[in-house]
Amino acid sequence: MANHSTEASYEQQPVWAGGRSPFNVSYGKLMMWLLLLSDAFTFSSLLVQYGAQRFSNVQSPVTTLWPEPAAIFNHFPFLHGLHLPLLFVSVMTFILIFSSVTMVLAVEAGHRKSKKEVVKYMVYTVLGGAAFLGCQAWEWSVFIHEGARLDGNTFGITAEGAAKFKTLHFGDHFEWESAWRTNGPVPFAALFFIVTGFHGFHVFTGVVANIVITIMAARGVFERRGHYEMIEKTGLYWHFVDLVWVFVFTFFYLI
Amino acid sequence: MSTAALHAEHDAHHHHKESFISKYVFSMDHKMISKQFLITGIIMGILGMGMSLLFRLQLAWPDEQFSILEVLLGKWGAGGKLDPNFYMGLVTIHGTIMVFYVLTAGLSGTFSNLLIPLQLGARDMASPFLNMLSYWFFLTSSVVLCISMMVETGPASAGWTVYPPLSALEKAMPGSGLGMTLWLVAIALFIISSLLGGINYISTVLNMRTKGMSMNRMPLTIWAFFFTAVLGLLSFPVLLGAALFLIFDRSAGTSFYLSDIYLDGVGALENIGGSPVLYQHLFWFLGHPEVYIILMPALGITSEVISTNARKPIFGYSAMVISLMGISFLSFIVWGHHMFITGMNPFLGSVFMILTLIIAVPSAVKVFNYLTTLWKGNLRFTPAMLFSIGLVSFFISGGLTGIYLGNAALDIQLHDSYFVVAHFHLVMGSSAIFGMFAGIYHWYPKMFGRMMNNTLGYFHFWITFITAYLVFFPMHFMGLAGVPRRYYQFTLVKEFDVWMDVNKLITVAAIIAGAAQVLFIYNFFYSIFRGKKAEQNPWQSNTLEWSTPVEHIHGNWPGEIPTVYRGPYEYSRPDREEDFYPQYIPDETSTDPLKSTKAAPAPDTKEPEVEPVNSVFFSALKRVFGWS
Instruction: Render B532-559 in DSSP notation, one character per residue.
Output: PBP-SSTT---SGGGGS-SS--TTSSSS
**pLDDT surpasses 60 at B315:** yes
B164 sits in the region (left: phi over 0; alpha: psi -120 to 50; else beta) called beta
- Nearest Cα neighbor of B226 from B324, B136, B361 is B324
Beta bridge partners of B580: B571
| pLDDT band at residue A7 under the 50/70/90 scheme | very low
Question: What is the model's pLDDT at position B17?
Answer: 61
Question: pLDDT per residue over B276-303, tens digit each?
Answer: 899 999 999 999 999 999 999 999 999 9
Domain residue ranges in chain B: 24-261+268-530
d(CA B431, CA B393): 8
Q: Does B252 touch chain A (CB under 8 A)?
A: yes
d(CA B598, CA B601): 8
**Nearest residue of B to residue A150 by CA position?**
B254
CB within 8 A of B284, min separation 6: which ones?
B335, B336, B338, B339
CB within 8 A of B501, min separation 6: which ones?
none
- Nearest Cα neighbor of B303 from B211, B357, B372 is B372
**Nearest residue of A to residue B130 by CA position?**
A2
Residue at A54: amino acid letter: R
- Nearest Cα neighbor of B225 from B329, B302, B116 is B116
**pLDDT surpasses 80 at B589:** no
Q: Which residues of A touch B240 (CB under 8 A)?
A: 42, 45
**pLDDT surpasses 60 at B109:** yes
The Cβ-side half-sphere exposure at B189, using a 13 Å CA radius, reads 18
- Nearest Cα neighbor of B236 from B288, B165, B300 is B288
Q: Is residue A11 part of a domain?
A: no
Say whether the peptide bond before residue B165 is cis (omega within 30 degrees of 0): yes
Question: What is the model's pLDDT at position A82?
Answer: 84
C-beta of residue B157 within 8 angstroms of C-beta of residue B88: yes
Question: pLDDT per residue over B137-196, tens digit each?
Answer: 999 999 999 999 999 999 999 999 999 989 988 888 888 999 999 999 999 999 999 999
Beta bridge partners of B484: B417
Question: pLDDT per residue over B7-27, tens digit each?
Answer: 444 444 444 566 788 878 888
**pLDDT surpasses 90 at A176:** no
CB contact under 8 A, A38 and B129: no
Q: Does B254 touch chain A (CB under 8 A)?
A: yes
Question: What is the model's pLDDT at position A62?
Answer: 58
Q: Is residue A21 part of a domain?
A: no
Question: pLDDT per residue over B515-525, tens digit each?
Answer: 999 999 999 99
Q: Which secondary-structure segment (H or E) carries B60?
A: helix B30-60
Nearest to B29 among A1, A48, A187 (CB): A1
Chain B from 186 to 245: CB within 8 A of any A CB: 195, 198-200, 202-204, 206-215, 233-238, 240-242, 244-245
Query: How much is the mean pLDDT over chain B?
Result: 89
Domain tally, chain A: 1
**pLDDT surpasses 90 at B310:** yes
What phi and psi, each to the nearest 5 degrees, are found at residue B263? -125, 125
Q: Which of A30, A45, A55, A191 has the most B C-beta neighbours within 10 Å, making it the best mutation to test the interface with B?
A: A45
CB within 8 A of A234, min separation 6: which ones?
A206, A209, A210, A213
Q: Which of B203, B228, B280 has the most A C-beta neighbours within 10 Å, making it the best mutation to test the interface with A?
A: B203
Residue at A78: amino acid letter: F
CB contact under 8 A, B204 and A27: yes
- Taking residues B504-510, report their average pLDDT: 97
**pLDDT surpasses 60 at B308:** yes
CB contact under 8 A, B127 and A14: no
Cα of A251 to nearest chain B Cα, Å: 17
Question: What range does the domain containing A85 cover?
Answer: 26-254
Question: pLDDT per residue over A101-126, tens digit each?
Answer: 999 999 999 999 999 999 999 999 99
Residues of B565-604 as b/e, b for ≥16 C-beta within 10 angstroms?
A: bbbbbbbbbeeeeeebbbbbbeeeeeeebbebeeeeeeee
d(CA B311, CA B293): 28
- Nearest Cα neighbor of B55 from B488, B430, B471 is B488
Measure Cα distances from B212 to A19, A93, B403, B442, B595 in Å. 6, 49, 41, 25, 9
Nearest to A1 among B124, B195, B248 (CB): B124
Assign domain B24-261+268-530 to its CATH architecture.
Answer: Up-down Bundle (1.20)
**Nearest residue of B to residue A43 by CA position?**
B241
| pLDDT band at residue B623 under the 50/70/90 scheme | low
- Taking residues B51-69, report their average pLDDT: 92
- Nearest Cα neighbor of B543 from B308, B205, B306 is B308
Coil, helix or strand for B250? Answer: helix
CB contact under 8 A, B238 and A22: no
Beta bridge partners of A156: A182
Q: Does B129 touch chain A (CB under 8 A)?
A: yes
Q: Does B275 touch chain A (CB under 8 A)?
A: yes
Question: What is the model's pLDDT at position B1?
Answer: 35
Beta bridge partners of B266: B263
Q: Which of A23, A27, A66, A240 has the most B C-beta neighbours within 10 Å, making it the best mutation to test the interface with B?
A: A27
d(CA A190, CA A201): 16
Coil, helix or strand for A148? Answer: coil
Question: What is the model's pLDDT at position A180?
Answer: 77
Question: What is the model's pLDDT at position B595?
Answer: 59
C-beta of residue B175 within 8 angstroms of C-beta of residue B151: no
Q: Does B153 touch chain A (CB under 8 A)?
A: no
- CATH number of the structural domain spanning residue A139: 1.20.120.80
| pLDDT band at residue B611 under the 50/70/90 scheme | low
CB contact under 8 A, B3 and A12: yes
- Nearest Cα neighbor of A46 from A230, A223, A247, A253 is A247
**pLDDT surpasses 80 at A5:** no
- Nearest Cα neighbor of B241 from A79, A246, A199, A236 is A199
Query: How much is the mean pLDDT over chain A?
Result: 85
What phi and psi, each to the nearest 5 degrees, are found at residue B339? -130, 25
Question: pLDDT per residue over A12-27, tens digit each?
Answer: 334 444 444 556 778 8
d(CA B531, CA B545): 20
Distance between start and end Cα atoms, chain B: 56
Nearest to A19 among B127, B275, B594 (CB): B594
Beta bridge partners of A157: A65
The angle at the Cα of B72, spanning B66 to B74, to the nearest 5 degrees, equals 95
CB contact under 8 A, A30 and B210: no
CB contact under 8 A, B245 and A6: no
Burial label, A6 (beta-carbon count in 10 A; 0-12, 13-18, 19+): middle
pTM, two decimal places: 0.90
Q: How many Cβ contacts (< 8 angstroms) between chains A and B?
A: 161
